[in-house]
Amino acid sequence: MPQPHLDSEHALENEAIALFSTLGWDTLNAYQETLGSSGTLGRETRSEVVLIPRLRSALQHLNLGLPDEAIQLAIEELTRDRSTSLEATNCEIYQLLKNGVKVCFKTNDDEEQEETVKLIDWDTPNNNQFLLVSQFSVTGEIYGRRADLIGFVNGLPLVFIELKAHHQRLEQAYHKNLTDYKQTIPQLFWYNALIILSNGKNSRVGAITAEWEHFAEWKKINDEGETGIISLETIIRGICNKTHLLDLTENFTFFFTTAGRLIKILGKNHQYLGVNNAVQAVQQIGQNRGKLGVFWHTQGSGKSYSMVFFSQKILRKLPGNWTFLILTDREDLDDQIYKNFAYAGAVTEPEREVRAKNADHLKQLLREDHRYVFTLIQKFRTEKGAVYPKLSDRSDIIVIADEAHRSQYDTFAQNLRNALPNAGFIGFTGTPLLAGEEKTREEFGDYISIYNFRQSIEDGATVPLFYENRIPELQLTNEELNEDVYRIVETATLDEEEERKLEREFSREYHLITRSDRLEKIAEDIVSHFLGRGHQGKAMVIAIDRFTAVKMYDKVQHHWKQRIDSLKAQLSTASIVEQQQLLDQIAYLEATDMAVIVSSSQNEEADFKRKGLDIRLHRKRLANESPGLDEKFKDANNPLRIVFVCAMWITGFDAPSCSTIYLD
C-alpha cells in the first residue's frame, strides 16, 4: 500500500492518532467496521453514536455496588431519543455527564431506591476509558457521514476532530464539513464537549454553538508556554491530555441564554491557564495570607466569564462553604456582572437576595450564608473617623474586585479588611498596574495571570480598533488638554460635584468643546459617516459628560430627520430603480432607534433643566424598557442602533454588534 503524501489529510490523521497514543488513549480505525455485539465497536447499527458495551463496562466499574438494573436505566436515559434542538439536547446531556443520572429501582426487598449513576470519574482521569476512533461512520435520518476522528470517554463521543490537508483553508472544515455534519448526523453532537478543526499548521477549538469567528486557537500546552512543533500537536497535547480534557469539560463549560438563544461557552486557552492559576492561589490561601493575586486579562477577552469559571470551579472542587463577594465601582458594571453570572446559571438565588440595595443590606447579606453577593465598593463607606465593623470571621469568603486598579479600592480597602479579616482577595483588571498603583499589589498580591492586548489581538479574542481622525473646523491649541482632563476623569465616573469641578478647572476649554455650533458640525458628521460606512453595525457616541451626551442625541436626531426629508424629496424625480433604493434607505432611517445611556444623580432633572435639557424621557427608557436597552443594543437585529454615553457601557460591556465608536 503506498504511503500517504506528507501534506495529505490522511498523513495528518496518522500524526494525530500517534499524538493521542502518546497521551495514553487507545486508538482504533473503524473504516472497515463490522457491526453487531461482537463487532469492531459493538454497535448494532451505524446510527448509534454511543458505544454501549464500553459505556456499560465503564459504568459498572465506576458504580460498584449498584445492580445491573440501575446501570441499564442510566444507559436508557442517556441514549433515549431527544426531539429538542441540538443546543438544548447538548445542554441536557451535559448536566447528566457532569452530575450523573438519577435512577429509581427496586431492591431485593422490593423497596424503591434512588441512586445517582456516575458517568465519568472527574477526579481520577485514568479511572475512565479513553478511545480515539478514526473513520467513524454514522448514518442520520437520510444521509450518512464519516467523521475523521472521534474521541470517546467511557463510550461517549465527547471530542469531534475534523482535519484538512495543509494547503486547504481551515474555514472549509467549519463551513463545508462541520455545518453539514450537525445537520445530517446531529445525534453525534448530543454528547459533544468540544470540536477541534485543524489543517496541521492552523488549529482551532470551539463549542457546538460557536460561529467560526468564535473558534479559538490554543497556543500553549501549559502555563510554562510550551508549544508543539505544529499547531495540531499543541492543541491535542493542550486539550486532549486526559486531565486537561476532563477539566475543560467539567469546569470550563457553561450554557448562556441571551436574546432567547442558548449559547455554549467553552473556556479559551488564556482563561483555562489563568483561572487554574487563580484556583491554585486559593488552595494556598493560608500561605499567601489571603492575597490571591491580580488577574490581568485585557478588555474584551472574556474576563467576566473567567470570574464564572473561577468561582464555579472552587465551589465544585474545593472543600468549604464558599461565598464570593463580587465588587465593582459602577452601577452599570454591577448590573452587567450580575447578569452574566445569572445567565450562566451560576446564581440560583433571587436577585434581591444576592444584590446589596444599600450599606445596611450589604452587612445583612455578608452575615448570612450566600454563595454569591454582588455590591458596589462604595457601600463599604463609613462616616469620617468611624471604624467599619467586622461582619464575618469566615475564611471561606473570596472577594473578587473588578477593575481592582482603580483608586476606589485603595480608599475602601481597609473597610473591606475590617469587615472580612480572614477573606481571600483577588483583583480582576483589564489594564496593567501602573506606577503609583503599588497599593493594589499590597492589597491583592502580584500578578497570577497576564493576557495583554497584543496577545488578545493575535488570538482574535479582541478585535483590532481602527482609528480615523475626523477634525471639526473648530480646533483647540492647548496641547496639554488631554493630560489635564485625563487627570480628573481617569476613573470614567463623574458625579455631580466632579462634573462641576471639570467645568470650573477647564471652564474655557469646556465651553469651547461643548459649544453648540461645534456640536452641530460633529452631529452632522456622525450622521453622514454612519450612513456612509459601507457596512452594518451599531455605534456608540462618547461625550465628555452627561449633558453633552443629551445635547448630541438631540442634534443627531435633528440631522437624522433632515436626511429623511432630503431622501423623500428626491423620490418625485427618481427612476423606478432609484425610488426603491430611496425607499429602502428611508425605511432604515425611520426604523433606527437611538438612546441616551447616562448614570442618574440626585436633582438631575433640575440640573438638566438649567442647561435647557430634558432628561426625563431618557431616564424612563433606562428604567422601564423590557428587554433592557443593553440587551436591545447587543441584539444585532434590534433597531436600537446608536447610543450616546459618557461613562456607562464604556468598560465591562460586551457588545459584538457595535462596530463604530465616535469619541469626542
Query: Can you spell out the DSSP letters for 157-169?
Result: EEEEEEE--TTS-
CB neighbour list of residue 135: distance below 8 Å, 6 or more residues apart: 29, 30, 31, 146, 147, 148
Q: How far apart (Å, rounded) are the C-alpha atoms in residues 340 and 356?
A: 17
Q: What is the mean pLDDT of the chain?
A: 87
- Among 460, 438, 481, which residue's Cα sits nearest to residue 206? 460
pLDDT value at position 261? 86
| CA dihedral (508, 510, 513, 518) positive or negative | negative
The answer to whether domain 9-255 and domain 268-459 are alike in fold is no
User: Which residue type is seen at 82?
Assistant: R
Could you report the per-residue pLDDT of 201-224, keeping only the tens digit for each?
Answer: 999 999 999 999 999 999 988 877
State the CB neighbour count (10 A cutoff) for residue 290: 23
First-residue to last-residue Cα distance in the chain? 69
Whether 281 and 292 have beta carbons less than 8 Å apart is answered as yes
Q: How confident is the model at residue 403 (pLDDT cuts 50, 70, 90)?
A: confident
Secondary-structure class of domain 9-255 per CATH: alpha beta
- The stretch 48-69 carries a mean pLDDT of 96
Q: How confident is the model at residue 410 (pLDDT cuts 50, 70, 90)?
A: low
Secondary-structure class of domain 268-459 per CATH: alpha beta
Range with top average pLDDT, 235-244, 448-457, 565-574: 235-244
User: Which residue type is seen at 163?
Assistant: L
pLDDT value at position 482? 47
Give the side-chain half-sphere CA count within 13 A for 510. 15
Range with top average pLDDT, 3-17, 386-400, 408-422: 386-400
**Per-domain residue ranges of the chain:** 9-255, 268-459, 481-663
User: Looking at 207-216, 446-455, 516-525, which range is the least confident one?
Assistant: 446-455
pLDDT value at position 439? 63
pLDDT value at position 387? 87
pLDDT value at position 652? 65
Q: How far apart (Å, rounded) are the C-alpha atoms in residues 412 and 400?
A: 14
- The stretch 404-425 carries a mean pLDDT of 77
- The stretch 39-63 carries a mean pLDDT of 96
Q: How confident is the model at residue 2 (pLDDT cuts 50, 70, 90)?
A: very low
Could you report the per-residue pLDDT of 453-504, keeping only the tens digit for each?
Answer: 677 666 666 666 665 666 555 454 445 544 554 454 444 445 556 656 655 6
Strands 203-206 and 26-29, bridge-based pairing: unpaired
Q: How far apart (Å, rounded) are the C-alpha atoms in residues 212 and 205?
A: 10
Q: How confident is the model at residue 264 (pLDDT cuts 50, 70, 90)?
A: very high
pLDDT value at position 504? 61
Q: How far apart (Å, rounded) are the C-alpha atoms in residues 410 and 437?
A: 9
- Of residues 216 and 657, more confidence is placed in 216
Buried b (16+ CB within 10 A) or exposed e, 49-75: bbbbebbbbbbeebbeebbeebbebbb
Give the side-chain half-sphere CA count within 13 A for 403. 20
Residue 528 reports pLDDT greater than 60: yes
Strand order in the sheet with 194-198: 26-29, 130-139, 144-153, 156-163, 194-198, 203-206
Whether 252 and 286 have beta carbons less than 8 Å apart is answered as no
